[in-house]
Amino acid sequence: MSPDHHAKSSTADCRLIELERFGSLEGTLSVVENGADSPLGYEVRRVFYVFDTPAGATRGGHSHRLDHETLVALAGSFDVLLDDGSGRGPRRVSLNRPNEGLLIPPGIWRTMENFSAGSVCMALAELPYDEDEYVRDYDEFLRLTAAKR
């Protein structure tokens, strides 16, 4: 599988996206819909979410060769640490708004930490689940991004 995205990826390309929201006195609704007006720039083919995360847990700890993912704090809050392998140190982004997404392109090592009690982390993924598309070994990630250092 091509490692191209690791060679070119940059944490500067990870961006916060304001999701459409409809508010009323009875509450707020946010929506993401595939199509030309999608703020994500890719079609969502998979949705997963992480909940019951114990205090002090660290999740993630991988990069994707191909997959774009957008993370949303549906409830509570957590921090995302983004690393492109350039050696500049990770960029930290805190998520705590259900209508805000953090778009992470392929080739970015991400870990999530500082989960608040009751937090729910939703991911909107471009691709179906494929373990071969993951890089879970940080040494391999460093090899794939070596040209940046």
Q: Minimum Å distance from CB 142 to ligand TYD?
A: 19
Residue tagged active-site, from 5, 62, 64, 68:
62
Question: Measured from the CB of residue 37, what is the shortest distance to ligand TYD in angstroms?
Answer: 26
Site membership for ligand TYD, residue 106 (CB under 6 A): no
Spatial separation of the C-alpha atoms in residues 1 and 141, rounded to whole Å: 14
Q: How many angstroms separate the CA atoms of 1 and 26, rounded? A: 48
Catalytic: 68?
no
Give the chain's length: 149
Instruction: Give, as ranges, the residues between 27 and 86 that touch ligand TYD (CB under 6 A).
Output: 46, 48, 50, 59-60, 62
Place of tokens 């819909």: 33
DSSP 16-42: EEEPEEEEETTEEEEE---STT-SSSS
CB of 11 to ligand TYD, least distance (A): 18
Query: Which runs of consecutive H residues, i.e. helices, occur in the chain?
Result: 4-8, 138-144
Nearer to ligand TYD, 60 or 107 (CB): 60
Exposure of 95 in the CB half-sphere (CA atoms within 13 A)? 31
Choose between 4 and 130: whose C-beta lies nearer to ligand TYD. Answer: 130
Decide if residue 108 touches ligand TYD (CB under 6 A).
no
Provide the annotated active-site residues: 62
Residues of this chain that interact with ligand TYD (CB under 6 A) are 46, 48, 50, 59-60, 62, 129
